[in-house]
A and B are shown apart, each in its own frame.
Chain A
Protein backbone atom coordinates (compact mmCIF):
# COMPACT_ATOMS: atom_id res chain seq x y z
CA UNK A 1 0.00 0.00 0.00
CA UNK A 2 1.27 3.40 -0.82
CA UNK A 3 1.21 5.78 2.06
CA UNK A 4 1.74 9.42 1.39
CA UNK A 5 1.64 12.60 3.28
CA UNK A 6 1.09 15.31 0.71
CA UNK A 7 3.54 17.58 2.46
CA UNK A 8 6.16 14.93 2.89
CA UNK A 9 5.53 13.61 -0.58
CA UNK A 10 6.27 16.91 -2.27
CA UNK A 11 9.22 17.70 -0.11
CA UNK A 12 10.90 14.34 -0.21
CA UNK A 13 10.32 13.81 -3.89
CA UNK A 14 11.39 17.29 -4.88
CA UNK A 15 14.55 17.63 -6.92
CA UNK A 16 17.20 19.59 -5.11
CA UNK A 17 18.06 22.78 -6.92
CA UNK A 18 21.67 23.78 -6.83
CA UNK A 19 24.68 21.95 -5.59
CA UNK A 20 25.77 22.51 -2.05
CA UNK A 21 22.97 24.95 -1.50
CA UNK A 22 19.87 24.42 0.57
CA UNK A 23 17.71 21.87 -1.18
CA UNK A 24 14.59 23.42 -2.63
CA UNK A 25 11.90 21.10 -3.95
CA UNK A 26 11.57 21.89 -7.61
CA UNK A 27 7.84 21.59 -7.42
CA UNK A 28 7.64 24.50 -5.02
CA UNK A 29 8.95 26.75 -7.77
CA UNK A 30 5.91 26.01 -9.88
CA UNK A 31 2.48 27.56 -9.67
CA UNK A 32 0.38 26.11 -6.85
CA UNK A 33 3.27 23.93 -5.72
CA UNK A 34 4.38 26.26 -3.00
CA UNK A 35 0.98 26.55 -1.40
CA UNK A 36 0.48 22.82 -1.37
CA UNK A 37 3.93 22.15 -0.01
CA UNK A 38 3.14 24.37 2.95
CA UNK A 39 -0.08 22.61 3.77
CA UNK A 40 -0.21 20.28 6.68
CA UNK A 41 -2.32 17.28 5.80
CA UNK A 42 -2.99 13.95 7.38
CA UNK A 43 -1.54 10.96 5.67
CA UNK A 44 -3.71 9.57 2.94
CA UNK A 45 -3.05 6.42 1.05
CA UNK A 46 -3.66 6.17 -2.67
CA UNK A 47 -6.62 4.00 -1.78
CA UNK A 48 -8.03 6.71 0.48
CA UNK A 49 -7.75 9.27 -2.27
CA UNK A 50 -9.27 6.92 -4.83
CA UNK A 51 -12.20 6.15 -2.54
CA UNK A 52 -12.78 9.84 -2.01
CA UNK A 53 -12.70 10.68 -5.71
CA UNK A 54 -14.99 7.73 -6.40
CA UNK A 55 -17.50 9.28 -4.02
CA UNK A 56 -17.24 12.56 -5.92
CA UNK A 57 -17.83 10.77 -9.21
CA UNK A 58 -20.92 9.14 -7.73
CA UNK A 59 -22.19 12.58 -6.75
CA UNK A 60 -21.77 13.65 -10.37
CA UNK A 61 -23.72 10.62 -11.62
CA UNK A 62 -26.59 11.44 -9.29
CA UNK A 63 -26.44 15.10 -10.24
CA UNK A 64 -26.86 14.34 -13.94
CA UNK A 65 -29.69 11.95 -13.17
CA UNK A 66 -31.46 14.59 -11.10
CA UNK A 67 -30.83 17.30 -13.67
CA UNK A 68 -32.21 15.18 -16.46
CA UNK A 69 -35.22 14.09 -14.44
CA UNK A 70 -35.99 17.61 -13.27
CA UNK A 71 -37.74 18.61 -16.45
CA UNK A 72 -35.76 21.84 -16.39
CA UNK A 73 -33.52 20.96 -19.32
CA UNK A 74 -34.48 21.31 -22.95
CA UNK A 75 -34.26 18.22 -25.12
CA UNK A 76 -31.24 19.65 -26.91
CA UNK A 77 -29.39 20.31 -23.69
CA UNK A 78 -30.23 16.89 -22.30
CA UNK A 79 -28.93 15.36 -25.49
CA UNK A 80 -25.70 17.39 -25.32
CA UNK A 81 -24.84 16.08 -21.88
CA UNK A 82 -26.28 12.59 -22.27
CA UNK A 83 -22.90 10.86 -22.53
CA UNK A 84 -21.39 12.38 -19.42
CA UNK A 85 -22.98 10.19 -16.73
CA UNK A 86 -21.51 7.11 -18.42
CA UNK A 87 -18.08 8.73 -18.29
CA UNK A 88 -18.49 9.36 -14.59
CA UNK A 89 -19.66 5.81 -14.08
CA UNK A 90 -16.55 4.53 -15.83
CA UNK A 91 -14.38 6.71 -13.64
CA UNK A 92 -16.16 5.62 -10.48
CA UNK A 93 -15.79 1.97 -11.38
CA UNK A 94 -12.06 2.27 -12.02
CA UNK A 95 -11.56 4.26 -8.85
CA UNK A 96 -13.47 1.68 -6.83
CA UNK A 97 -11.10 -0.93 -8.17
CA UNK A 98 -8.16 1.24 -7.22
CA UNK A 99 -9.57 1.94 -3.77
CA UNK A 100 -10.15 -1.74 -3.01
CA UNK A 101 -11.63 -2.25 0.42
CA UNK A 102 -11.66 1.51 1.02
CA UNK A 103 -14.29 2.06 -1.68
CA UNK A 104 -17.67 2.92 -0.19
CA UNK A 105 -19.67 2.71 -3.38
CA UNK A 106 -21.86 5.64 -2.42
CA UNK A 107 -21.85 9.34 -3.18
CA UNK A 108 -20.00 11.57 -0.75
CA UNK A 109 -22.77 12.35 1.75
CA UNK A 110 -21.93 16.00 2.31
CA UNK A 111 -21.37 16.91 -1.33
CA UNK A 112 -24.38 14.88 -2.33
CA UNK A 113 -26.62 16.84 0.04
CA UNK A 114 -25.24 20.15 -1.16
CA UNK A 115 -25.63 19.39 -4.86
CA UNK A 116 -29.05 17.81 -4.44
CA UNK A 117 -30.26 20.87 -2.57
CA UNK A 118 -28.86 23.20 -5.19
CA UNK A 119 -30.47 21.26 -8.02
CA UNK A 120 -33.79 21.17 -6.23
CA UNK A 121 -33.74 24.91 -5.80
CA UNK A 122 -32.53 25.68 -9.31
CA UNK A 123 -35.21 27.72 -11.03
CA UNK A 124 -34.43 26.66 -14.58
CA UNK A 125 -32.02 25.29 -17.13
CA UNK A 126 -29.37 27.94 -16.70
CA UNK A 127 -29.15 27.39 -12.96
CA UNK A 128 -29.00 23.63 -13.40
CA UNK A 129 -26.21 23.93 -15.95
CA UNK A 130 -24.28 26.29 -13.70
CA UNK A 131 -24.37 23.65 -10.96
CA UNK A 132 -23.11 21.01 -13.39
CA UNK A 133 -20.46 23.40 -14.69
CA UNK A 134 -19.19 24.01 -11.16
CA UNK A 135 -19.31 20.29 -10.42
CA UNK A 136 -17.27 19.38 -13.50
CA UNK A 137 -14.68 22.03 -12.74
CA UNK A 138 -14.54 20.79 -9.16
CA UNK A 139 -14.02 17.25 -10.43
CA UNK A 140 -11.16 18.37 -12.69
CA UNK A 141 -9.62 20.26 -9.81
CA UNK A 142 -9.99 17.23 -7.56
CA UNK A 143 -8.08 15.09 -10.03
CA UNK A 144 -5.36 17.72 -10.08
CA UNK A 145 -5.31 17.52 -6.31
CA UNK A 146 -5.09 13.72 -6.58
CA UNK A 147 -2.05 14.05 -8.82
CA UNK A 148 -0.29 15.71 -5.90
CA UNK A 149 -1.71 13.48 -3.22
CA UNK A 150 -1.10 10.03 -4.65
CA UNK A 151 2.15 8.22 -5.14
CA UNK A 152 1.70 5.00 -7.05
CA UNK A 153 1.87 5.00 -10.81
CA UNK A 154 -1.56 3.44 -11.21
CA UNK A 155 -3.22 6.14 -9.15
CA UNK A 156 -1.29 8.89 -10.90
CA UNK A 157 -2.05 7.69 -14.40
CA UNK A 158 -5.68 7.14 -13.55
CA UNK A 159 -6.03 10.70 -12.32
CA UNK A 160 -4.16 12.02 -15.34
CA UNK A 161 -6.37 10.00 -17.65
CA UNK A 162 -9.65 11.28 -16.21
CA UNK A 163 -8.81 14.92 -15.50
CA UNK A 164 -9.03 15.87 -19.20
CA UNK A 165 -12.47 14.27 -19.50
CA UNK A 166 -13.82 16.39 -16.64
CA UNK A 167 -12.22 19.47 -18.14
CA UNK A 168 -13.92 18.76 -21.46
CA UNK A 169 -17.27 18.23 -19.74
CA UNK A 170 -16.83 21.64 -18.13
CA UNK A 171 -16.17 23.20 -21.53
CA UNK A 172 -19.23 21.54 -23.06
CA UNK A 173 -21.50 22.63 -20.23
CA UNK A 174 -19.92 26.09 -20.17
CA UNK A 175 -20.64 26.50 -23.85
CA UNK A 176 -24.26 25.53 -23.28
CA UNK A 177 -24.33 28.35 -20.74
CA UNK A 178 -22.94 30.76 -23.32
CA UNK A 179 -19.78 31.40 -21.35
CA UNK A 180 -16.79 33.02 -23.03
CA UNK A 181 -13.57 31.16 -23.79
CA UNK A 182 -11.89 33.00 -20.96
CA UNK A 183 -14.57 31.73 -18.60
CA UNK A 184 -14.17 28.12 -19.61
CA UNK A 185 -10.44 27.85 -20.33
CA UNK A 186 -7.91 29.09 -17.80
CA UNK A 187 -4.22 29.20 -18.70
CA UNK A 188 -3.66 26.38 -16.21
CA UNK A 189 -5.90 23.95 -14.42
CA UNK A 190 -5.81 24.76 -10.75
CA UNK A 191 -7.00 23.07 -7.63
CA UNK A 192 -8.66 26.04 -6.00
CA UNK A 193 -12.01 24.31 -6.39
CA UNK A 194 -10.80 20.85 -5.52
CA UNK A 195 -12.84 18.83 -3.09
CA UNK A 196 -10.46 17.99 -0.32
CA UNK A 197 -10.59 14.63 1.49
CA UNK A 198 -8.68 16.10 4.41
CA UNK A 199 -11.47 18.60 4.98
CA UNK A 200 -14.39 16.39 4.05
CA UNK A 201 -13.22 12.87 4.76
CA UNK A 202 -15.10 9.75 3.92
CA UNK A 203 -15.80 7.58 6.89
CA UNK A 204 -13.14 5.05 5.93
CA UNK A 205 -10.44 7.60 5.26
CA UNK A 206 -7.62 6.96 7.67
CA UNK A 207 -5.42 9.55 9.21
CA UNK A 208 -2.11 9.02 10.81
CA UNK A 209 0.14 10.91 13.10
CA UNK A 210 3.13 8.74 12.45
CA UNK A 211 6.33 10.36 11.41
CA UNK A 212 6.91 10.70 7.66
CA UNK A 213 8.89 7.92 6.08
CA UNK A 214 12.49 8.74 5.40
Chain B
Protein backbone atom coordinates (compact mmCIF):
# COMPACT_ATOMS: atom_id res chain seq x y z
CA UNK B 1 0.00 0.00 0.00
CA UNK B 2 1.27 3.40 -0.89
CA UNK B 3 0.15 5.30 2.11
CA UNK B 4 2.54 8.05 1.31
CA UNK B 5 3.55 8.14 -2.33
CA UNK B 6 5.99 10.89 -1.49
CA UNK B 7 8.29 8.28 -0.04
CA UNK B 8 8.69 6.77 -3.46
CA UNK B 9 9.01 9.92 -5.45
CA UNK B 10 12.76 9.95 -5.86
CA UNK B 11 13.11 7.10 -8.29
CA UNK B 12 14.34 9.13 -11.20
CA UNK B 13 15.45 7.27 -14.27
CA UNK B 14 19.16 7.26 -14.80
CA UNK B 15 19.95 6.00 -18.24
CA UNK B 16 23.39 5.70 -19.75
CA UNK B 17 25.05 7.02 -16.63
CA UNK B 18 23.82 10.49 -17.37
CA UNK B 19 24.97 12.98 -14.81
CA UNK B 20 21.91 14.57 -13.39
CA UNK B 21 23.20 17.82 -12.03
CA UNK B 22 19.84 19.49 -12.24
CA UNK B 23 18.32 16.66 -10.29
CA UNK B 24 20.57 17.47 -7.37
CA UNK B 25 19.58 21.11 -7.53
CA UNK B 26 15.97 20.07 -7.92
CA UNK B 27 16.10 17.80 -4.91
CA UNK B 28 17.96 20.33 -2.82
CA UNK B 29 15.54 23.10 -3.55
CA UNK B 30 12.56 20.84 -3.07
CA UNK B 31 13.60 19.49 0.29
CA UNK B 32 12.64 22.56 2.21
CA UNK B 33 9.48 23.15 0.27
CA UNK B 34 6.59 21.69 2.18
CA UNK B 35 3.92 22.32 -0.35
CA UNK B 36 3.91 25.16 -2.77
CA UNK B 37 4.64 28.18 -0.73
CA UNK B 38 4.96 30.80 -3.39
CA UNK B 39 5.96 33.43 -0.94
CA UNK B 40 9.20 31.68 -0.06
CA UNK B 41 11.03 31.98 3.16
CA UNK B 42 12.16 35.56 3.23
CA UNK B 43 14.87 35.80 0.61
CA UNK B 44 12.25 37.43 -1.53
CA UNK B 45 13.17 37.94 -5.14
CA UNK B 46 15.97 35.41 -5.15
CA UNK B 47 13.76 32.60 -4.00
CA UNK B 48 10.99 33.66 -6.33
CA UNK B 49 13.42 33.63 -9.22
CA UNK B 50 14.68 30.21 -8.20
CA UNK B 51 11.10 28.98 -8.12
CA UNK B 52 10.44 30.38 -11.58
CA UNK B 53 13.60 28.77 -12.89
CA UNK B 54 12.68 25.45 -11.34
CA UNK B 55 9.20 25.59 -12.87
CA UNK B 56 10.68 26.30 -16.27
CA UNK B 57 13.16 23.44 -15.99
CA UNK B 58 10.44 21.00 -14.99
CA UNK B 59 8.12 22.22 -17.73
CA UNK B 60 10.81 22.01 -20.40
CA UNK B 61 11.71 18.50 -19.28
CA UNK B 62 8.07 17.46 -19.42
CA UNK B 63 7.76 18.97 -22.89
CA UNK B 64 10.85 17.10 -24.05
CA UNK B 65 9.49 13.81 -22.74
CA UNK B 66 6.17 14.44 -24.47
CA UNK B 67 8.08 15.16 -27.68
CA UNK B 68 10.01 11.92 -27.23
CA UNK B 69 6.68 10.13 -27.14
CA UNK B 70 5.61 11.94 -30.31
CA UNK B 71 8.87 10.91 -31.95
CA UNK B 72 8.54 7.34 -30.72
CA UNK B 73 5.06 6.91 -32.15
CA UNK B 74 6.18 8.33 -35.49
CA UNK B 75 8.98 5.80 -35.65
CA UNK B 76 6.59 3.05 -34.64
CA UNK B 77 4.11 4.04 -37.34
CA UNK B 78 6.83 4.39 -39.96
CA UNK B 79 8.29 1.01 -38.98
CA UNK B 80 5.39 -0.75 -40.63
CA UNK B 81 4.96 -3.38 -37.92
CA UNK B 82 1.64 -2.08 -36.65
CA UNK B 83 -1.74 -3.20 -37.93
CA UNK B 84 -4.00 -0.47 -39.26
CA UNK B 85 -6.10 -0.37 -36.09
CA UNK B 86 -3.06 -0.16 -33.85
CA UNK B 87 -1.43 2.44 -36.06
CA UNK B 88 -4.60 4.52 -35.80
CA UNK B 89 -4.40 4.30 -32.02
CA UNK B 90 -0.73 5.26 -32.17
CA UNK B 91 -1.60 8.34 -34.21
CA UNK B 92 -4.21 9.35 -31.65
CA UNK B 93 -1.79 8.89 -28.77
CA UNK B 94 0.84 10.82 -30.69
CA UNK B 95 -1.57 13.71 -31.16
CA UNK B 96 -2.28 13.79 -27.43
CA UNK B 97 1.42 13.93 -26.61
CA UNK B 98 1.87 16.74 -29.10
CA UNK B 99 -0.84 18.68 -27.29
CA UNK B 100 0.83 17.97 -23.97
CA UNK B 101 4.16 19.25 -25.30
CA UNK B 102 2.39 22.39 -26.47
CA UNK B 103 0.88 22.84 -23.04
CA UNK B 104 4.22 22.51 -21.25
CA UNK B 105 6.04 24.67 -23.76
CA UNK B 106 3.36 27.32 -23.54
CA UNK B 107 3.65 27.38 -19.79
CA UNK B 108 7.46 27.51 -19.98
CA UNK B 109 7.33 30.44 -22.37
CA UNK B 110 4.80 32.21 -20.17
CA UNK B 111 7.35 31.96 -17.37
CA UNK B 112 10.02 33.51 -19.58
CA UNK B 113 11.55 30.16 -20.48
CA UNK B 114 12.39 28.74 -23.87
CA UNK B 115 10.22 26.19 -25.59
CA UNK B 116 11.71 22.77 -26.27
CA UNK B 117 11.65 21.59 -29.85
CA UNK B 118 13.61 18.34 -29.62
CA UNK B 119 12.66 15.03 -28.01
CA UNK B 120 14.28 14.21 -24.71
CA UNK B 121 17.60 12.66 -25.66
CA UNK B 122 17.71 10.22 -22.75
CA UNK B 123 14.34 8.72 -23.66
CA UNK B 124 15.05 8.82 -27.39
CA UNK B 125 18.43 7.15 -27.07
CA UNK B 126 17.11 4.50 -24.73
CA UNK B 127 14.45 3.47 -27.22
CA UNK B 128 15.94 4.11 -30.63
CA UNK B 129 18.05 1.00 -30.97
CA UNK B 130 15.62 -1.48 -29.37
CA UNK B 131 12.79 -0.09 -31.46
CA UNK B 132 14.82 -0.51 -34.63
CA UNK B 133 15.38 -4.15 -33.72
CA UNK B 134 11.72 -4.84 -32.94
CA UNK B 135 10.40 -7.60 -35.15
CA UNK B 136 6.68 -7.57 -34.49
CA UNK B 137 3.81 -5.52 -33.17
CA UNK B 138 3.93 -6.77 -29.57
CA UNK B 139 7.57 -5.73 -29.33
CA UNK B 140 6.70 -2.24 -30.50
CA UNK B 141 3.74 -2.05 -28.14
CA UNK B 142 5.92 -3.11 -25.23
CA UNK B 143 8.21 -0.15 -25.93
CA UNK B 144 5.19 2.11 -26.27
CA UNK B 145 4.05 1.00 -22.84
CA UNK B 146 7.49 1.83 -21.49
CA UNK B 147 7.30 5.29 -23.05
CA UNK B 148 3.90 5.96 -21.53
CA UNK B 149 4.99 4.80 -18.09
CA UNK B 150 8.13 6.94 -18.22
CA UNK B 151 6.07 9.91 -19.31
CA UNK B 152 3.58 9.42 -16.50
CA UNK B 153 6.32 8.97 -13.93
CA UNK B 154 8.04 12.15 -15.07
CA UNK B 155 4.86 14.17 -14.77
CA UNK B 156 4.03 12.63 -11.42
CA UNK B 157 7.49 13.44 -10.08
CA UNK B 158 6.92 17.12 -10.67
CA UNK B 159 3.75 17.37 -8.59
CA UNK B 160 4.36 19.32 -5.42
CA UNK B 161 7.53 20.86 -6.84
CA UNK B 162 6.10 23.81 -8.71
CA UNK B 163 6.15 27.36 -7.49
CA UNK B 164 3.01 27.96 -9.53
CA UNK B 165 0.68 25.49 -7.86
CA UNK B 166 -1.71 25.52 -10.81
CA UNK B 167 0.90 23.55 -12.71
CA UNK B 168 0.33 20.52 -10.51
CA UNK B 169 -3.10 20.07 -11.95
CA UNK B 170 -2.05 21.00 -15.47
CA UNK B 171 0.69 18.40 -15.39
CA UNK B 172 -1.55 15.62 -14.17
CA UNK B 173 -4.19 16.52 -16.72
CA UNK B 174 -1.60 15.14 -19.13
CA UNK B 175 -0.42 12.40 -16.76
CA UNK B 176 -3.86 10.87 -16.54
CA UNK B 177 -3.98 10.62 -20.31
CA UNK B 178 -0.62 8.85 -20.42
CA UNK B 179 -2.06 6.39 -17.90
CA UNK B 180 -5.05 5.82 -20.17
CA UNK B 181 -2.73 5.18 -23.11
CA UNK B 182 -0.83 2.69 -20.97
CA UNK B 183 -4.06 0.89 -20.08
CA UNK B 184 -4.95 0.44 -23.74
CA UNK B 185 -1.44 -0.73 -24.60
CA UNK B 186 -1.43 -3.19 -21.71
CA UNK B 187 -4.72 -4.60 -22.97
CA UNK B 188 -3.27 -5.05 -26.45
CA UNK B 189 -0.39 -6.92 -24.85
CA UNK B 190 -2.85 -9.17 -22.99
CA UNK B 191 -1.91 -7.66 -19.67
CA UNK B 192 -4.40 -6.28 -17.12
CA UNK B 193 -5.18 -2.72 -18.23
CA UNK B 194 -5.54 -1.35 -14.71
CA UNK B 195 -3.39 -3.43 -12.42
CA UNK B 196 -2.01 -0.77 -10.10
CA UNK B 197 -3.79 1.00 -7.29
CA UNK B 198 -1.19 3.73 -7.08
CA UNK B 199 1.52 5.19 -9.25
CA UNK B 200 4.92 6.51 -8.28
CA UNK B 201 7.70 8.51 -9.84
CA UNK B 202 9.84 5.43 -10.37
CA UNK B 203 11.49 5.74 -13.76
CA UNK B 204 10.93 9.48 -14.03
CA UNK B 205 13.28 11.63 -16.06
CA UNK B 206 14.81 14.13 -13.65
CA UNK B 207 14.30 17.81 -14.39
CA UNK B 208 16.93 19.16 -16.75
CA UNK B 209 17.98 15.73 -17.99
CA UNK B 210 18.04 14.99 -21.69
CA UNK B 211 17.36 18.53 -22.84
Contacts and interface: CB of A to CB of B under 8 A. Distances in A.
A165 interface: yes
A168 to B, nearest CB: 4
B9 to A, nearest CB: 6
Nearest to A165: B197
Interface stretch (B20-28, B74-82, B123-131, B175-183): B175-183
Interface string A168-198: 1111100100000110111111110000000
A68 interface: no
B164 A26 contact: yes
Contacts, number: 222
Contact of B159 (A13, A93, A156, A168): A156
Interface residues of A, number: 64
Contacts of A14: 38, 164-166
A27 B167 contact: yes
Nearest to B168: A147
Interface centre among B35, B39, B93 (most CB of A within 10 A): B35
B20 to A, nearest CB: 20
A18 to B, nearest CB: 8
Interface residues of B, number: 64
A135 B80 CA distance: 38
Interface stretch (A28-36, A47-55, A118-126): A28-36
Nearest to B158: A160
Interface in A152-166: 152-154, 156-165
Contacts of B103: 30-31, 188
B1 interface: yes
B36 A151 contact: yes
Interface centre among B1, B160, B169, B198 (most CB of A within 10 A): B169
A191 B175 CA distance: 14
29 contacts: A9-B165, A14-B164, A14-B165, A25-B166, A27-B167, A28-B166, A29-B106, A30-B103, A30-B107, A32-B170, A33-B166, A84-B194, A87-B194, A91-B198, A148-B165, A156-B36, A156-B160, A157-B156, A160-B159, A160-B172, A163-B172, A164-B175, A164-B179, A167-B179, A168-B179, A168-B180, A175-B184, A187-B95, A189-B172
